Amino acid sequence: METVLVTGACGQIGSELTATLRERYPGVTVVSSDVRSDSTLAQPYERLDVTDQSRLESVIREYDVDTVFHLAAILSATGEDDPQTAFDVNAGGLYAVLEAGRRENVDQVIVPSSIAVFGPQTPANPGEKTVLSPSTMYGITKVLTERLGEYYASRYGLDVRGLRLPGLISYETPPGGGTTDYAVDAFYAAAAGEEYTCFVRPDTRLPMMYMPDAISALIDLATADEADLRYRCEYNVSALSFTARELVDRIEDRVPEFEAYFDPDDRQRIADSWPDAVDDSAARADWGWEPEYGLEAVVDDMLANL
Please identify, using beta-carbon distances, which residue of 113 and 130 lies nearer to ligand NAD: 113
Judged by CB under 6 A, which stretch of 167-175, 192-200, 258-266, 298-306 contacts ligand NAD? 167-175
Judged by CB under 6 A, which stretch of 46-54, 151-159, 187-195, 272-280 contacts ligand NAD? 46-54
206 near ligand NAD, rule: CB under 6 A: no
Q: Report the residue from 5, 41, 56, 72 that binds ligand NAD according to the rule CB under 6 A.
A: 72
291 near ligand NAD, rule: CB under 6 A: no
CA 90 vs CA 28, 68, 166, 181: distances in Å: 27, 15, 18, 19
Who contacts 209 (Cβ-Cβ below 8 Å, separation ≥6)?
Answer: 165, 166, 167, 168, 169, 217, 237, 238, 239, 240, 291, 293
35 near ligand NAD, rule: CB under 6 A: yes
Q: Report the residue from 6, 18, 32, 34 that binds ligand NAD according to the rule CB under 6 A.
A: 34
18 near ligand NAD, rule: CB under 6 A: no
162 near ligand NAD, rule: CB under 6 A: no
156 counts as catalytic: no
59 near ligand NAD, rule: CB under 6 A: no
Q: How many CA atoms lie within 13 A of 91 on its CB side?
A: 14
112 near ligand NAD, rule: CB under 6 A: yes
- Of the residues 25, 63, 95, 138, only one is catalytic, namely 138
Q: Report the residue from 139, 175, 207, 291 that binds ligand NAD according to the rule CB under 6 A.
A: 175
Comparing CA positions, the residue from 228, 233, 234, 207 lying closest to residue 130 is: 234
* Per-residue buried b or exposed e for 206-239, using 16+ beta carbons within 10 Å of the residue's own CB: bbbbbbbbbbbbbbbbbebeeeebebbbbbbbbb
Judged by CB under 6 A, which stretch of 65-73, 120-128, 196-204, 254-262 contacts ligand NAD? 65-73
83 near ligand NAD, rule: CB under 6 A: no
Please identify, using beta-carbon distances, which residue of 255 and 277 lies nearer to ligand NAD: 277
Sign for the CA dihedral angle at 197, 202, 207, 213 comes to: positive
Q: Report the residue from 4, 10, 98, 221 that binds ligand NAD according to the rule CB under 6 A.
A: 10
How far apart (Å, rounded) are the C-alpha atoms in residues 82 and 180?
Answer: 18
Q: How many CA atoms lie within 13 A of 262 on its CB side?
A: 13
DSSP code, position 47: E
The secondary structure of 92-118, three-state, reads: HHHHHHHHHHHHCCCCEEECCEEHHHC
In the three-class reduction of DSSP (H, G, I as helix; E, B as strand; rest coil), residue 83 is classed as: helix
C-beta of 216: minimal distance to ligand NAD in Å? 15
The DSSP bridge pattern shows strands 205-210 and 240-243 to be: antiparallel
CB burial of residue 87 (10 Å; 0-12, 13-18, 19+): middle
Please identify, using beta-carbon distances, which residue of 26 and 275 lies nearer to ligand NAD: 275
Q: Report the residue from 31, 65, 68, 73 that binds ligand NAD according to the rule CB under 6 A.
A: 73
Query: Binding residues for ligand NAD, per CB under 6 A?
Result: 7-8, 10-14, 34-36, 48-51, 71-73, 75, 89, 93, 112, 114, 165, 167-168, 175-176, 178, 180
Catalytic positions: 138
